[in-house]
Structure 1
């Protein structure tokens, strides 16, 4: 393996590690993900906020409440558009829209896919995937960092790690996750332990079922070479909820490289593992089923025997996106180097100064992206949601048909009754699909009543170019500038390595900044919002040049980037009158009185598509040029080129609010590494220009620390500041002993070792200053993370203007030594809470509250006391005069009896029992009986349980009245006359419909067509409370 061949492969890998530099060489087709996954990555990688000039819009389609301990399950449509990129496909709910049904884990491949290790046909001189290597080589993170491992010999330039017969790479892939409110990423450590970066500090990730032998070889039993082995990632959150990702082929997203010259085992890469199952500690199981299609016999090996997907038969074909890649690859060398040859020029041909080279390869290649389509969602084996797709015919001969969601049907917990239906309509232009209407209907037993409609319009939706156009700027956005080549013309200084682009064919086109973006939303009440965009502008950028020794440096530079940032939002009422506006200024030191011109934006996605290198040995000097460009720029899909450190929001041309964000200047990427000479040839070799080996040196990204709200200032209509808040942050993970994976990069016969640390960026202090009646009110909140596991919030201190303070301390499973909870990863639940008040810093303080929640300490304990589940047993209250004396703590509350779903059947308050009867299929409490133990009343409740289950199934006014009648019979039962009884009825997926307290005076709760509480009336129809909802301006 030659050094430069290795260099060529390493360049692409390193760029995924840090700043998204637009520079990669590839004989291979780009690994292209689905639009659904790119949107999930974009939401998860960077906070969606004014920091990026972006807007996001969510529509909650349905919410299933309290599946476990306050955890709901909801399905939402999410819009997130940043600009028109022709190569981005329309998702199955429309361009720039995604549907959140749970989440995914996606992957950024660096070097070789971690799971690339064929079962057979292996070679002792080939480098294989990272995952199989760490499973076989038995080396620690420190072993790799300290170069304590064998390598592939001199023919392989000393790269990778050699274990037994085979060698494996040492570049861990990056796995991004975004699911159920959790987002972040992880690397797999050299000891198989995932290294996690996330705001959720207590996630536990299990990769033991992640297959390290993909793709299949030998063949599956059906002879298919293009399918996958089961491969699963399991994440457990701090409440002990387990999330399963991937598994079978239909749950995976896969990029197929259809280059005919590629070896068969290199033909596909798994890009995403979709969430397919959630196991809750109360034994509930939610399953997400995906559409299963099997290839016809002649198509089983489509990724091996074809260079295009269009010939595959339906319905298997409908699982794919067909990608057309235009790429230009320049790979040229000059053996006649002359020190007087001058600059290197490129204008379609290469001019070395004294020699002209015409090595220039422009080709069209194809890839296919296999997607996952949800078909249904089930809870405990019962249907909750069904998805119905519509097939759309292909728009041209070189495209393929596509599937789009047409209907979504929601069921109640029984799986029998339809409670809501959502219809999606699309506007189609070529193969671009825009979500045009969302129609929601409420299903009743015998009719379907119209509920709500949302309408959407988009800029320039009927004038878009073909998706395979090459007329794009440096970041992949459409610019409509004619060109002959994908690589723009340039002049390169061969002495320094710096270069200048000499044409404008890849420059952004500001007039197209709003193309394809959301223009208006019309709401169900017929009010409307209009969105106005403007081009991104920046005043600084990240650069690597000879002055910086080709390391990252921030330089002043004004420019623009393709795509659009939100400039103004105008709101209209249902009669068309304007009712409010918001304007946004992305400038530093904004003032309503002064000249505002300097952008607060910093360009972090710098563009460099070439590398020039001169190699000098004792025998010769030769120079090489490599340049590459294609029409697919991934950073336009899953990240943002510009981030703004200061944004001002002006509302209704009156007061304004300034937002300040962390950025690259406050948290730059880390270049900490150690290096080892890796010249195994014994020949003295020098490389020029100086420091050129740094040009693609990877950095450890601190992107997760950027885009956080640092400061907020509120100004009134007189432009006087009336409130400000400042927040400091701390990384509670970074630098922890052994909390790293080692990444090894080989550059120009030098080996670089980087530590990839885990991280969780959390607020450490917030100071709020507020002017009230000309007085300054100051408050401070401090957060401490000194728990045993070093990540949980251990203390929170609030200090008021007068210096008095309140301190709340927390202890968790580690502090209390509860190994049962630790094993279940229930380590983020505060078990002991104590509140102390102080008059000043010198005051020792007075404890005003202290309590502890006790849980089972073993499975046997849980079996005996909590129906085998990890649920609370009791609550202790401490003597406030002697809060440290555990012997004086008294039991305040006991949880005496649970059912098999974790519902509390009986609890006791200071010895007095309270019984709770559950109905509606064990999902809702229908009676609370105070003073009675469960075994005292259980013989009387079968009728109300049966009536509630009937109401749950039928869902009619008659069935609810029958339940109320049964509840009243229970209330009037003379055997229960000594007890206080409260009864409840529900529409289970909306809310409580009646509450009857012990007095017998029943309250009736009514909801509007959007399932919002509308009124509360007594049993005689008298209005007690009324709720009205209006859109905020």
Structure 2
């Protein structure tokens, strides 16, 4: 009878409120700063200028390593802790891979299961979502209890290369990047996993081991350079839910969040650069995370008398915060090869306690603390418990816990980068702590000499000192509208978001640049449910963050700028903003016929998974003389996101994100000061750039309690894997009434390449195979040949299959379809299967071949050419290199009665500066540098000055 009655139930919705999934994945401040540049491109498309301070560029074995500071000009996120270089500044020196966790970590092996049987992580069953009927509720309800069906996303940023990679349903890594990147991580190899820096659960009575984490990744670029991230616990950031460090908790443990670059190797396995790190004290990070769920089931017996009513209310209003306990590492030194350190990094602790960063946070209000049987010692074991010797206390700020301490947050602290030491000079970073830590000066020091970069900001002291402030707009930027009520807060954008923004940057030369920013705007937005692009009645609507409006460059001697640029983001000839918003803020939605959610942060992401929240289709840059350039970029309207195959619970759908296709230049127009079109370039791209897909789901099976009907929320969606190519560029130049059009056409080879080393796997590659230039009816065309084109020669193929070197091995040049000439490099095997160039040949017009150079000998380690024969076969040239620079170069003419020799000698500093050259004729040149490694003078063998350079440097006054 119960079955019959239940089948007749009819459900209706009552007034409902609120649910927020508490964020469980907050990266450390340094990792978060580095991750920005893997997520959002620095370009006019986002309204962001490229503001950076160069610190050092060092070449070793031909590899350039740049160290600099990068500024994020979007505005200050009011509740994001500063990294070790202060708000919005990021040290770019090595690189990192940061995990965006989806569901549980891909490698997670759950230790304690009370029911449902064994849990299977994503690495074990990446294709589970594709098996059977993916839209079967029964299948999903079973799978959710025993399988992780959603892969993590790994964001990388190193040496100018950015992107993401995801483990595909077919068991191959999929890379989303403009670069050719090969990911080396065999998920089945147990040696690729490591126990965390704290290897046991927080227990007094046992030492049960926690699950192992990913030890690190190895990435290769298309020149064969190898980048090793992680490898041991000294170079991995870990994190755990702050409220999971409870005694005897065996469900949560520290998870590897970020892996830092530890080594760069060449394709032959030689170390080019090493990066060393040290672990700092714990960092406590918290977020506003109010959530509640009110579920009402109102059921009537169809045709019968009586009703049934079930209600459930869940809320975290008593303690509306989420948090992470992170254990970060910090860069300590950079070492070229096996030599002395190039750079060492000195840091200290910021003069602000964690309690001062969160002045209104009271951990005692957490519900678990209200349970009589619990105490702080049992709840926050990693910060309080002193057992196991120094296992926990060694990672705290201040050491062992003492009962007299009023707050456990005393044992957490942020660090600050104070100084960078190079062999010939050092750099000191000065900060201001007026409300918030921000970089004030970068001082370059050599002995008693110094020069500085100095910064001026807009009202940094107006920002709140509370990092759990309610005074933020929808996107997290400051709006000054504080509220203590989660049901009545104002998140609109206003002028307060410019507080803390950089306004002036002074240079060591005495010159300076001023920046004027304004609010981002949009003229169209993407509907959260239909994915349609909608133009509101208002032509411009403010959205979060800032964009550049004006840049003025001054030489420091004149009051007028030497250059002034003004930026406009409207559709040309219109007052409508060209900004396209990826989503509108949404704070509640109906999850089923009986349940809806709302919260104090948007329930839909306000930025794309892989891009900014707003991008501009048109940007016009006007110079002081009124000449201008107008740039047209691809945007949501050109490559809309894709709706999921199915969505449950009327939730806003998880769309297939295409934001990595945005910001491509479509056309560029140059105008004279009188408004006449001078030149226009039009760009064409791949029409269908998607080469692969990953199917996944973020479905959640919800059952608030035993009285309420369970329901699903979420979607089945895809990650699209693109390879996006420029196919043509058409440039038209206008001269009076005449015009001339030149065209560049490009061809590419796109393929999934089988690779055998270090283990069998496949990697998508995308390389240019041809480039044709058409001018005045004539066409010049270059065709490129690659190692993978010639599998008949194992030595040549090794460049790709073993080293992942995708550099061209040959070219052929055509003029109006007629072969003119070409070149090709032939490879050979030496020293136990090492592939090196054997000779370089020239292909003539009649297809005959000449040998240009024959390579006779190589250095033993880096396999640099030490002897070769040019086209004149009677001459052998020899050379010795050190640190990537030639130390000795000479030649010897053989087969003659009087052999002739000629030698040149080169002398270098440790930092790669050329100091002396001895030529075969006896001439001797000497080069002199100042304290900052800048060339100031050159003299000949007689001491005569052949060149002298003076630099204009004066003290800046803010």
TM-score normalised per structure 2 = 0.80
1:853 paired residue among 822, 825, 828: 825
- Partner Cα separation in structure 2 for residue 775 and residue 634 of structure 1: 50
Give aligned pairs, total.
Answer: 834
Q: Which residue of 1 aligns with 2:335?
A: 378
Aligned to 1:894: 854
Residue 184 of structure 1: CA displacement? 0.9
* 8 Å Cα contact 1:84/1:477 also seen in 2: yes
Q: Which residue of 2 aligns with 1:720?
A: 676
Quick check: 1:659–1:709 contact (8 Å CA) kept in 2?
A: yes
The 3-state SS of whatever aligns with 1:784 is: strand
Tell me what 2:686 maps to: 730
Counterpart of 1:863 in structure 2 is: 831
Q: 1:450: which partner in 2?
A: 449
Asked if the contact 2:630–2:670 (Cα under 8 Å) also holds between the matched residues in 1, the reply is yes
- Written as runs of structure 1 = structure 2, the 5 A alignment for 1:691-730 is 693=649, 695-730=651-686
Moved more, 284-293 or 418-427: 284-293
State the Cα deviation string for residues 611-640 of structure 1 (Å, max 9, x = none).
22443xxxxxxx222212259999689953
Is it true that 1:81 corresponds to 2:81 in the alignment? no
CA contact (8 A) 2:281 2:413 kept: no
Conserved 8 A contact 1:87-1:632: no
Deviations 1:956-1010 (A, max 9, x none): xxxxxxxxxxxxxxxxxxx997212222222342432333433333344444555
Q: Retained in 1: the 8 A contact 2:893–2:899?
A: no
The CA distance in 1 between the partners of 2:335 and 2:192, in whole Å, is 25
The 2-side partners of 1:227 and 1:291 are apart by: 24
Cα gap change, 1:227 to 1:406, in 2 (>3 Å): farther
Q: Structure 2 stretches of 5 or more lacking a match?
A: 1-16, 301-310, 358-411, 701-710, 753-763, 954-958
Identify which of 374, 389, 395 aligns with 2:347: 389
Confirm whether residue 577 of structure 1 aligns to residue 559 of structure 2: yes
Alpha-carbon shift at residue 422 of structure 1 (Å):
1.3
- Out of 132, 150, 159, the residue aligned to residue 171 of structure 1 is 150
**3-state SS of 1:658 partner:** strand
C-alpha contact 1:476 1:631 (8 A) present in aligned 2: no
Q: Deviations over 1:752-792 (max 9, x none)?
A: 65443322222111111122465322111111113665844
Displacement after TM superposition at 1:570 (Å): 1.8
- Is the Cα contact below 8 Å between 1:821 and 1:870 reproduced in 2? yes
What is the SS of the residue equivalent to 1:814? Answer: helix
SS at match of 1:38: helix
Partners of 1:224 and 1:523 in 2: CA distance = 56
Q: CA deviation at 1:692?
A: 7.0
| Residues 571 and 577 in structure 2, CA contact (< 8 A), matched pair in contact too | no
Report if the CA contact (8 A) 2:99-2:257 is conserved: yes
Q: 1:424 aligned to 2:411? A: no
- 1:440 paired with 2:433, answer no
Measure how far apart 1:87 and its partner are.
Answer: 1.2
Deviations 1:915-942 (A, max 9, x none): 44436x5543222212258xx9xxxxxx
**1:327–1:486: 8 Å Cα contact kept in structure 2?**
no
Q: Does 1:809 align with 2:783?
A: yes
* 8 Å contact kept, 1:764–1:782: yes
Write the deviation string for residues 452-503 of structure 1: whole angstroms up to 9, x where unpaired: 3111121112222022211111111111113343355xxxxxxxxxxxxxxx
Structure 2 counterpart of 1:479 = 479
CA spacing shift, 1:398–1:993, aligned 2, 3 Å: closer
Q: Hey, what's the Cα distance between the residues in 2 that align with 1:176 and 1:24?
A: 31
Checking the alignment, whether the CA contact within 8 Å between 2:230 and 2:259 is kept in structure 1 is yes
Show CA shifts across 1:717-759 (max 9, x none).
Answer: 1111111112122278623xxx433213437669965443322
Greater shift, 694-703 or 518-527, is seen at 694-703
Which whole-Å CA distance do the structure 1 matches of 2:458 and 2:235 have between them? 34
Aligned to 2:761: none
Partner of 1:832: 810
Give the conservation status (yes or no) of the 8 Å contact 1:116–1:214.
no
- Distance change in 2, residues 1:730/1:172 (3 Å): same
Aligned partners of 1:184, 1:1024: CA distance in 2, in Å? 47
User: Is the Cα contact below 8 Å between 1:994 and 1:1004 reproduced in 2?
Assistant: yes
Cα distance in structure 1, aligned partners of 2:314 and 2:714: 34
**Alpha-carbon shift at residue 25 of structure 1 (Å):** 4.8
Structure 1 Cα separation of the partners of residues 842 and 766 of structure 2: 23
Q: Answer whether contact 1:740 1:758 (CA < 8 A) is retained.
A: yes
3-state SS of the aligned residue for 2:552?
A: strand
Q: Out of 30, 33, 39, which is 1:39 matched to?
A: 33
CA positional deviation for 1:246? 2.1
- CA distance in 1 between counterparts of 2:665 and 2:950 reads 33
Measured after TM superposition, the shift of residue 822 of structure 1 is 2.5
Equivalent residue for 1:242?
A: 226
Q: Partner residue of 1:744?
A: 697
The equivalent residue for 2:880 is: 918
Shift of 1:103: 0.9
Name the residue aligned to 1:505: 490
Which residue in 2 is equivalent to 1:554? 534
State whether structure 2 residue 595 is matched by structure 1 residue 624.
yes
Residue 324 in 1 paired to residue 283 in 2?
no
Residues 230 and 248 (structure 1), Cα distance of their counterparts in 2 relative to 1, 3 Å cut: farther
User: What are the equivalent positions in structure 2 for 1:15-34 lying under 5 Å apart?
Assistant: 25-26=19-20, 28-34=22-28
Tell me the secondary structure at the aligned position of residue 820 of structure 1.
helix
Identify the match of residue 992 of structure 1 among 884, 900, 914: 914
Q: Assess, with a 3 A threshold, how the Cα gap between structure 1 residues 846 and 1026 changes in structure 2: closer, same or farther.
A: farther
Task: State yes or no: 1:778 paired with 2:741.
Answer: yes
* CA distance in structure 2 between the partners assigned to 1:890 and 1:977 by the alignment: 26
Counterpart of 1:157 in 2: which secondary structure? helix
Alpha-carbon shift at residue 906 of structure 1 (Å): 0.5
Give the deviation of 1:409 after TM superposition.
1.4
CA contact (8 A) 1:116 1:212 kept: no
Relative to 1, partners in 2 of residues 1:662 and 1:380: Cα closer, same or farther, differing over 3 Å? same
Q: How much has 1:599 moved relative to structure 2?
A: 0.9
* SS of match in other structure, 1:266: coil
**C-alpha separation in 2, matches of 1:708 and 1:1025:** 44
SS in 1 for 2:799: helix
Q: Is the 8 A contact 2:587 2:603 kept in 1?
A: no
- SS of 2:124's partner is helix
SS state at 2:523 partner? strand
1:877 aligned residue (842, 850, 854): 842
C-alpha deviation, 1:185, in angstroms: 0.7
Partner of 1:759: 722
- Give the 3-state SS of the residue equivalent to 2:490 in structure 1: coil
- Larger mean CA deviation between 652-661 and 575-584 belongs to 575-584
Q: Which residue of 2 aligns with 1:685?
A: none
Q: Which residue of 1 aligns with 2:869?
A: 908
Question: How far, CA to CA, are the matches of 1:356 and 1:732 in structure 2?
Answer: 48
Q: Paired residue for 1:98, among 49, 66, 90? A: 90
Aligned pair in 2 of structure 1 residues 701, 214: CA closer, same or farther (>3 Å)?
Answer: farther
Give the match's secondary structure for 1:473.
coil
Question: RMSD of aligned C-alpha atoms?
Answer: 3.7
Could you tell me how far 1:1030 is from its partner in structure 2? Answer: 8.1
Measured after TM superposition, the shift of residue 521 of structure 1 is 0.8
User: Does the Cα contact within 8 Å between 2:267 and 2:803 map onto a contact in 1?
Assistant: no
- Name the structure 2 match of 1:278: 264
Q: Structure 1 129/403 Cα, relative in aligned 2: closer, same or farther at 3 Å? A: farther
Q: Decide whether the 8 Å contact of 1:533 with 1:567 is kept in 2.
A: yes
**Structure 1 922/425 Cα, relative in aligned 2: closer, same or farther at 3 Å?**
closer
3-state SS of 2:75 partner: coil
Tell me the equivalent position of 2:378. none
Question: Are 2:610 and 2:660, in contact at CA under 8 Å, matched by a contact in 1?
Answer: no
Equivalent residue number for residue 499 of structure 1: none
Among candidates 15, 37, 54, match of residue 48 of structure 2: 54
**Quick check: 804-813 or 390-399, which moved more?**
390-399
Where 2:319 maps in the other structure, the secondary structure is strand
